[in-house]
Structure 1
Amino acid sequence: MSKPTVLLACDFSDRFKQLLTDRYKVLGPMPRSAPDALPVGASAALALVTKGGLQTDRALIEALPELGLVSYFGTGFEGIDLQAASEHGLTVTHSPGANASSVADFAMGLVLASTRQILAADRFVREGRWTGNSLVSMAAVPGLTGARLGIYGFGAVGRKLASRAAAFEMKIAYHSRTPKSDTACSYKASVRELAEWADILIVAVRADPSNYHIVDRSLLAALGLNGHVVNVARGSLIDADALAEALEQGMIAGAALDVFENEPTVPDRLLNAPNLILSPHIAFASTGARNAQEDMVLANLEAFFDNRAVPNPIDPF
């Protein structure tokens, strides 16, 4: 009996590709998620494995006539045309929560790096500027104890951020679509209200058309001169030009980005912006979190091909 065909929209770890190859005929990875980039034999693909930031639009769906499943590595699924998927009877799955601890850990690392100027301190030493007999070699900055952390998005990542921030003795508030009854953290009725309150704003919300570029010039101004913004969600949530301008003009104190709107391309203006820390979308990428997400994708594929209910369908769909 021949193996069912699975198409990879992007590259994945060697571990994951080997596990897939053991069970399926694997095509890809595609150089880009578009109909003109489909490999030979893709018309037979029954499942597409992809990630949230890649486009799975109507044209791609219709170029895959046998497609029955789109399985997302990670929580996000903003790249798919849900209407087209529904019309073609596709099952769509994701892997929620598996990377939440990893992302929360990394986000707190970015908070520390930005607020305590860790990268700047490293450069300070390497460039030979640590001289003299002063008690403080670099200017003192506010610490995290007592600082106000605003969490935009209070899902699995947001909740883990709150628990980690509590250990730093921070004040914590959040904004999400609805207030949560099972947390002592303060709820703010809007993102703007959260930014006005916060010293540090962490973006950890799922991206969709309603929050495109929601972190704009106005919101950054509300965050204020001493504010920091950290994004571990999706690049589309932040207006990159507005952020670069805010940093260039000193409208905010600093920022850290793990995600970008058109990955892996990073605008030159961001590359040259002061007080900005950049990382290549690796908040999720601890070994344990990556393996757990891969295993969830495998479980969704296995259930689909066994004609069982998939464990992680996108809801609502």
Structure 2
Amino acid sequence: MNAAAPADRPRLLVLIPLTDADRAALAERFEVLYAPDAAQRSAAIAQQGATVRAVLTNGTTGLTADEIDAMPALKLAAALGAGYENIALDHARSRGIALCNGAGVNADCVADHAMALLLAVVRAVPQYDAACRAGVWRDALPMRPTLTGRRLGIVGYGHIGAKIARRAAAFEMAIGYHNRAPREGVNARYFDSTLALAQWSDCLVVATPGSAQTRHLVDRAVLDALGPEGFLVNVSRGSVVDTAALAAALKAGTLGGAGLDVYEGEPEPPQALTGLDTIVLTPHVAGTSPDVRAATVRNFIDNATRCFAGEPLLTPL
């Protein structure tokens, strides 16, 4: 590991995997300590935590209170993406540490992926693809519903939820949403609970942050409310959906289908779901693309530059 960082380049501890290009971009502004796995992380904090002035992590990887205490010079803790559920926010704030994330930077990409999952599960795209490759023609296959004109419920109407709503409008879908409070200027129907929204919806897309408050927000009652012709898509955090309840509903046919980019127990595949043909799974990639990753790194650099210059952050927590 490197010696003490030069005064003009704050020492940055990176706790998540990055490409060589990302690391090179950060190295222009920071003295980078790269520790993307548990062993490197422990060693970096134990040996050089006293010199670290900024940390770059994400919601899944997080940053603990004990780790924060091991970095007395820490001035900024940042989540590269939108999520920040495993960062000890209150402890950081008690130390006067600035906090930021990448809110909104990947919203278009996540919204695109949400619609892709919705179309894939409603139109059974993976199943049709497999059938076609096996030489099975359409007359031997069941017809699938049309997405256009259906009712779409969005759980969490932030940057991503709003982008999903805009895309759904192009499919002439009626749009409802549940949020902690109604949004002003939103051309969509507000519901005061996820259950009420599910009872109204044909399709439910989950885009709310993961937290203790949202754990299993989509439970058996919500899935039952969607019903055998209803569809679920989750592009938020796996913890928001009760996996056991989802598997039971899909097996029993009391839910029409689901598309998940996130799931409980990542990165292990959800064994209760992988054998089902009414679900489409992707490996937590909704918010990732080369252009998004470059933009999130730029967003972090801009936030950090502002922080060390004593200026307001672009995307504070």
Given the two structures, how large is their TM-score scaled by the length of structure 1? Answer: 0.92
Say if 2:10 is the partner of 1:4. Answer: yes
The residue number in structure 1 matching 2:110 is 103
**Residue 295 to residue 15, structure 1, CA distance change in 2 (3 Å):** same
The residue number in structure 1 matching 2:152 is 149
Amino acid at match of 2:315: N
1:298-313 correspondence runs (5 A): 298-313=301-316
1:237-256 correspondence runs (5 A): 237-256=240-259
> Is 1:150–1:174's contact at 8 Å kept on the other side of the alignment?
yes
Structure 1 residue 151, shift from structure 2 partner? 0.7
Structure 1 residue 78, shift from structure 2 partner? 1.4
Q: Secondary structure at the match of 2:182?
A: coil
State the Cα deviation string for residues 215-245 of structure 1 (Å, max 9, x = none): 1112111111111110011111111121112
The residue number in structure 2 matching 1:221 is 224
> Is 2:10–2:52's contact at 8 Å kept on the other side of the alignment?
yes
Q: Distance in 2 between matches of 1:111 and 1:32?
A: 35
Q: Distance in 2 between matches of 1:33 and 1:196?
A: 47
Q: Distance in 1 between matches of 2:271 and 2:264?
A: 13
Amino acid at match of 2:111: A
Say if 2:263 is the partner of 1:257. Answer: no
Structure 1 residue 279, shift from structure 2 partner? 0.7
Structure 1 residue 263, shift from structure 2 partner? 2.3
Q: Distance in 2 between matches of 1:244 and 1:120?
A: 18
The residue number in structure 2 matching 1:56 is 63
Q: Of residues 1, 11, 22 in structure 2, which corresponds to 1:16? A: 22
Q: Secondary structure at the match of 1:89?
A: coil
Q: Distance in 1 between matches of 2:123 and 2:22?
A: 37
Q: Secondary structure at the match of 1:211?
A: coil
The residue number in structure 2 matching 1:206 is 209
> Is 1:247–1:274's contact at 8 Å kept on the other side of the alignment?
no
The residue number in structure 1 matching 2:51 is 44
Amino acid at match of 1:257: L
> Is 2:82–2:102's contact at 8 Å kept on the other side of the alignment?
yes
Q: Distance in 1 between matches of 2:160 and 2:285?
A: 14
RMSD between aligned alpha carbons? 1.9
Q: Of residues 22, 30, 41 in structure 1, which corresponds to 2:36? A: 30
The residue number in structure 1 matching 2:239 is 236
Say if 2:184 is the partner of 1:189. Answer: no
Q: Secondary structure at the match of 1:173?
A: strand
Say if 2:100 is the partner of 1:93. Answer: yes
State the Cα deviation string for residues 237-294 of structure 1 (Å, max 9, x = none): 1111211121122121111111123322223212223311111111111333222221
Q: Distance in 1 between matches of 2:253 and 2:71?
A: 49
The residue number in structure 2 matching 1:269 is 272
Amino acid at match of 1:192: L
> Is 1:248–1:274's contact at 8 Å kept on the other side of the alignment?
no
Task: Give the stretch that moved more between structures: 91-100 or 282-291.
Answer: 282-291
Q: Distance in 1 between matches of 2:39 and 2:98?
A: 18
Say if 2:85 is the partner of 1:82. Answer: no
Q: Which runs of 4+ in 1 moved over 3 A?
A: 32-40
Q: Secondary structure at the match of 1:26?
A: strand
Q: Distance in 1 between matches of 2:79 and 2:39?
A: 13
Q: Distance in 2 between matches of 1:183 and 1:74?
A: 25
Amino acid at match of 1:102: C
Q: Distance in 2 between matches of 1:277 and 1:244?
A: 13
Q: Distance in 1 between matches of 2:195 and 2:39?
A: 35
Q: Distance in 2 between matches of 1:169 and 1:6?
A: 47
> Is 1:34–1:60's contact at 8 Å kept on the other side of the alignment?
no
Q: Distance in 2 between matches of 1:22 and 1:34?
A: 22
> Is 1:154–1:175's contact at 8 Å kept on the other side of the alignment?
yes
Q: Of residues 171, 175, 193 in structure 1, which corresponds to 2:174? A: 171
Q: Distance in 1 between matches of 2:40 and 2:76?
A: 17
Q: Distance in 2 between matches of 1:265 and 1:37?
A: 26
Q: Distance in 1 between matches of 2:257 and 2:40?
A: 36
Given the two structures, how large is their TM-score scaled by the length of structure 2? Answer: 0.92
The residue number in structure 2 matching 1:296 is 299
**Residue 234 to residue 37, structure 1, CA distance change in 2 (3 Å):** farther
